Structure 1
Amino acid sequence: MNLLHTSQPSVDLSILPEIDYDSLYHDWYHPKLEMLIITPDNQSFINAVTPLKEWKNKKGVRTIILSNFSLYEGRDKAEKIRKMIKSYYQTENIQWVLLAGDATEDLIPIRYVYNPDTIEHSGSEYNGYDEYLKPTDFYYADLTGSWDEDGDGKWGESSRYNSHGVDEISWSPEVYVGRLPASNADELEIMINKTINYEKNPNVGDWMNRMLLAGGISSYSPAEDETRLTTYVIQNYIQSEMNYTHLTEHTSSYTPPDPKEVLTQNNFISHFNLGYSTVFFAGHADPFKLIRNPSNDIAYTNNDAK
């Protein structure tokens, strides 16, 4: 008997996962993009955003600058930009898009969607704004479909107005979209420098864990208590997560469960200037003011980068 020889159990190699070494090699040497910075086809704009691209890449966020969206097909510049974003989302699975330029046709145009608002007297045609078309950058974030499924040239119609009875917007964004609304390269450079400085030298403090909520009154008759919405947000999302301040105004038909302070112009501005990481206002507004502010009060806010 040969005691030195023992049989070894055979190993079924078929049960082991197959390793795709080619894919591992490609992902290691060709990591996917994460962020797009989109500028007008203008060298001064490209130069202005280059420091941000370099900073993002240094932090490990693979970022490129795109400006020549004329290579993509589209009925207008906005559709070409969206198709470019969609292409990179499908091939690179990007997460973030920064539109570096104001929302004008010659820079980075915004999409006007068909959303009639003709019931309110003085509705959205106030100060010359269109009562049928509403501007939104969500067009560049929600990449599902074309936003004009029936091809009538009216973008973002709801099923009520679409000739096929379908919503043209999915309301589920594929990417995060932000905008630096600079009208020229000098303005853009200032915004870029402030952004980089904020990320490199954050003003760390307890303000980062604070949230300001303000619930106003929408509509006219019957009025709608938006404090119901801010209360819902508090109770379901932030009550145990953040320190918050809740400013409220309400009609006699609704009383918040625990109102802290009354929503007034002075209260809101005073709190805003203390610094909060998140501010959520529910109520009427227009491009220049919140509904409780009787004048343009943006000039009075000063929160020291908080």
Structure 2
Amino acid sequence: MSKMKFGRRLYCLIFLIITIILIPISQFYILQVPKEGNEFNKESDSKREEIPIGELKKSPILSGNNEDTYPNKTYLIITTNAIKANSGMLDDFIRYKQASGFRVQVITEDDYGPQVGKLRAINIRNYLCYNYEQDNIQFVLLIGDPDPDIEGEIDSVGDVPMMYCYPRSGIKKANGSATDYFYADLTNDWDIDGDGLFGESNDDYGGADFHAEVPVGRIPVYGNNYGDLDDILCNIIYHHSTNNEPGDWKKNFLLAMAMLNYYNETGNENARTDGLDFPEHICEDVIYPTNEAHRVNILYEREGVNPVPTAAYGYTNPTNKENFINAFNDGFSPGDMGTGFVLWSAHGNDWSAQRWIWDQDDNANGIPEDGEFKWKSLIRNDQVNELDKDTQAFFYLASCSCGYPEVPNNIGYELLKSGVAVSTISSSRTSWCKQGIWNPNIYSFEMTDYLGIGYHYMRNLIQQGICAGWALYDATWKGSELIYNRGNSWMNKMNFNLYGDPHMRYWWSGPPNPPTNPMPSEGANNVDFNATLSIDVSDDNFNDLNVVFYDASDDSLIGYDMDVQSGKTANITWHNLNGSTTYQWYAIVGDGQAITKSPLYSFTTKNQAPLAPINPSPVDDAEIFICDPILSVDVFDDSDEITVLFYDATYGNFLGGEFFVENGGTASTSWEGLEEGKTYNWYALAFDGINTTRSANFTFKI
């Protein structure tokens, strides 16, 4: 071992010992509102079972007829056949992502296999492991019921389940986490000890490394609520395509800090955790350096004994439901456009964020004791509809269980479903923080605490301009994992899941301008069978643009023109069109986040000459035994009315004809007065009123 490596390891060992001595484990705090119920305590001694997987195969990429212009990066949607068949907005979302510069793949149980529960989660991950590099998958969106398959329980399981992991090791409920991280970290074994319990911070350490290969987002679908899914997809599609981007509402931030515990609560001498310190760090390090015009509403706990003082950094109002709703809806004044980003820090459960209040000091001893506390809601899932839905905000919910996936109306999803939020980060289970004064070094050197994840998520999303998926996964994997709190750190990393589009960014500059100057011009005639479609595109912010062309008859993809400079012309070729046919088309122009759809345009192709008549009767080179044969041919054309004329190929004499023959029909005439022992030659002409096509010469002998 080199001296450098030995010195580094010795330093880490000394630091670890000092940290353990100075920071007792009791200082780490959970944000759970207690629930009654028995925990499953039995330790599993089962060995890893052989997992059957569905046939791994690539889903066909939704494609047009211009192979050489396809984007080289893939947006993958993982869902079910039922959702794919019943969603009314999924195809629109696919077109939105195509205009954002992606190939789009949609896979279902036909691709990842029919197994359910834990096996389905494993199969989905196997599909991703097998395909993410060769398909250049950049983002993954899960659409389906996230209910996880919990080891040792007979319970309901979702059709696109989260994976249930055991970051604090052991099979107790308090140690478990429902996570989509399982689908993001694809290069490591999450069950390295092979006991069937995935993501154990002790036994599986050295497996999962939380370095995501692809960022993952999710839109839950519970029951057959396809309408809720369609509303969410619609909000995502049009979030950045409004004329008020980047409106004042994007510059408004709301931080709601509840009391988590008091000093010496019940005589335990633990440090006070009141949310006093986080707002200053996030404002001074992230929000204000990004833009001095940003405005932050900061709510602190002012109720009960020993509240947060009004001199707290940036204090605007007390933390309570009324102030939270008013601040969200009005921003900084009535009539303001609302709020763009919300972070709350509070206790929580699946249906609410909760405040913990020292209501009264009954015996005046200055010690917060049992019987002196009360719970109050900061916001409940049945109060979400009181929040404004005009702009849809980004939310980071620093609470326990607000994204509890088994409960269809968990508040993380309820915010998304209602249209109040366009993106939420919420915890599926108990989340952990360090008691006392908060600062960013806790995340860097002690544990991946829930506020540390929120701090770095906001920095990535708001200051660095990173999309929501990468903003979250970068914020989680970099956090500290010291051995004495590795279980809590791993649990926080797994717990916080993204409900929404992982590709969406917080800031954007509004949609591209409507395209102009379509070619062929509207209503044009005599257009070639390989038609060149073009439009002029522009963007006020001079972004390069992706232009996707569609057949308006069935919304099928014609092709892409990628990275078109603002002010230039986008064009593709629509191949192999039929003659004398009217076509309609449109284009969607995207700048990576926002889109603009063109009007419908139409043109009519030029007349196409009939095909040469075929299938002669008598057949070519036949020998027949009658002297007045019936001649016939089959004719094909884009016209319903074809005139067919028959001629003697030797002397050029007209033999007869037939009018108004339908496309694909048979025309005939008789040739009378022929003689035995002679050979005769003939041909047919097909005339559609404009163009004439001659058949081959046909021969028969009598």
TM-score with structure 1 length normalisation? Answer: 0.73
Q: Decide whether aligned partners of structure 1 residues 158 and 45 sit closer, same or farther in structure 2, where only a CA change above 3 A counts.
A: farther
Matching of residues 4-19 of structure 1 within 5 Å: none
Number of residue pairs the alignment of both structures matches: 266
Distance 1:257 1:52 in 2: 42
> Are 1:37 and 2:86 matched, yes or no?
no
Map of 1:122 onto structure 2: none
Please give the secondary structure, in 2, of the residue aligned with 1:32: coil
Name which of 129, 136, 142 aligns with 1:99: 142
Name which of 196, 214, 217 aligns with 1:175: 214
Q: CA deviation at 1:264?
A: 1.7
Distance 1:108 1:209 in 2: 36
Counterpart amino acid of 1:230?
Answer: P
Q: Decide whether aligned partners of structure 1 residues 244 and 47 sit closer, same or farther in structure 2, where only a CA change above 3 A counts.
A: same
Please give the secondary structure, in 1, of the residue aligned with 2:286: helix
Map of 2:503 onto structure 1: none
> Are 1:280 and 2:343 matched, yes or no?
yes
Q: Decide whether aligned partners of structure 1 residues 226 and 34 sit closer, same or farther in structure 2, where only a CA change above 3 A counts.
A: farther
Name which of 223, 227, 244 aligns with 2:276: 227
> Are 1:304 and 2:304 matched, yes or no?
no
Q: Decide whether aligned partners of structure 1 residues 140 and 219 sit closer, same or farther in structure 2, where only a CA change above 3 A counts.
A: farther
Distance 2:182 2:243 in 1: 31
Q: Decide whether aligned partners of structure 1 residues 117 and 236 sit closer, same or farther in structure 2, where only a CA change above 3 A counts.
A: farther
Distance 2:279 2:164 in 1: 28
Q: CA deviation at 1:57?
A: 0.5
Q: Decide whether aligned partners of structure 1 residues 158 and 305 sit closer, same or farther in structure 2, where only a CA change above 3 A counts.
A: same
Counterpart amino acid of 1:64?
Answer: Q
More moved, 170-179 vs 265-274 = 170-179
Distance 2:115 2:227 in 1: 31
TM-score with structure 2 length normalisation? Answer: 0.34
Name which of 55, 60, 64 aligns with 2:96: 55
Distance 1:46 1:38 in 2: 14
Counterpart amino acid of 2:127?
Answer: M
Identical pairs, percent = 26
Q: Decide whether aligned partners of structure 1 residues 265 and 168 sit closer, same or farther in structure 2, where only a CA change above 3 A counts.
A: farther
Map of 1:236 onto structure 2: 285
- Which protein is bigger by CA-based radius of gyration? 2
Q: CA deviation at 1:194?
A: 3.2
Q: Decide whether aligned partners of structure 1 residues 146 and 290 sit closer, same or farther in structure 2, where only a CA change above 3 A counts.
A: same
Please give the secondary structure, in 2, of the residue aligned with 1:225: coil
Contact 2:261-2:274 within 8 A present in 1 as well: no
Contact 2:168-2:200 within 8 A present in 1 as well: no
Distance 2:286 2:102 in 1: 29
Please give the secondary structure, in 2, of the residue aligned with 1:276: coil
Matching of residues 76-95 of structure 1 within 5 Å: 76-95=119-138
Map of 1:245 onto structure 2: 297
Map of 1:142 onto structure 2: 185
Q: CA deviation at 1:216?
A: 2.1
Q: Decide whether aligned partners of structure 1 residues 41 and 141 sit closer, same or farther in structure 2, where only a CA change above 3 A counts.
A: same
Q: CA deviation at 1:37?
A: 1.2
Q: CA deviation at 1:30?
A: 5.4
Map of 1:193 onto structure 2: 234
Unaligned runs of 5+ in 2: 1-66, 148-156, 331-337, 356-375, 393-702
Q: Decide whether aligned partners of structure 1 residues 238 and 194 sit closer, same or farther in structure 2, where only a CA change above 3 A counts.
A: closer
Q: CA deviation at 1:258?
A: 4.1
Please give the secondary structure, in 2, of the residue aligned with 1:155: coil
Q: CA deviation at 1:60?
A: 2.1
Map of 2:436 onto structure 1: none
Please give the secondary structure, in 2, of the residue aligned with 1:238: helix
> Are 1:111 and 2:163 matched, yes or no?
yes
Deviations 1:100-145 (A, max 9, x none): 1221334210122214599xxxxxx9xxxx4332222232223341
Counterpart amino acid of 2:325?
Answer: I
Name which of 192, 198, 209 aligns with 2:251: 209
Distance 1:224 1:170 in 2: 30
Q: CA deviation at 1:44?
A: 1.6
Contact 2:166-2:177 within 8 A present in 1 as well: yes
Q: Decide whether aligned partners of structure 1 residues 190 and 273 sit closer, same or farther in structure 2, where only a CA change above 3 A counts.
A: same
Distance 1:229 1:290 in 2: 18
Counterpart amino acid of 2:253?
Answer: M
Distance 2:347 2:159 in 1: 29
Distance 1:265 1:218 in 2: 17
Counterpart amino acid of 1:96?
Answer: F
Distance 2:248 2:81 in 1: 41
Q: Decide whether aligned partners of structure 1 residues 115 and 59 sit closer, same or farther in structure 2, where only a CA change above 3 A counts.
A: closer
Distance 1:216 1:102 in 2: 31
Q: Decide whether aligned partners of structure 1 residues 203 and 195 sit closer, same or farther in structure 2, where only a CA change above 3 A counts.
A: farther
Deviations 1:3-34 (A, max 9, x none): xxxxxxxxxxxxxxxxxxxxxxxx96554223
Deviations 1:176-233 (A, max 9, x none): 2221112223332332233324344365320112221222222574342333233322
Contact 1:114-1:133 within 8 A present in 2 as well: yes
Distance 1:167 1:230 in 2: 35
Distance 1:192 1:63 in 2: 15
Contact 1:96-1:177 within 8 A present in 2 as well: yes
Q: CA deviation at 1:245?
A: 2.0
Deviations 1:126-177 (A, max 9, x none): xxxx433222223222334132222222222223xx2x6x265423333322
Q: Decide whether aligned partners of structure 1 residues 86 and 280 sit closer, same or farther in structure 2, where only a CA change above 3 A counts.
A: farther
Unaligned runs of 5+ in 1: 1-26, 119-124
More strand by share: 2
Q: CA deviation at 1:252?
A: 6.7
Contact 1:289-1:298 within 8 A present in 2 as well: no
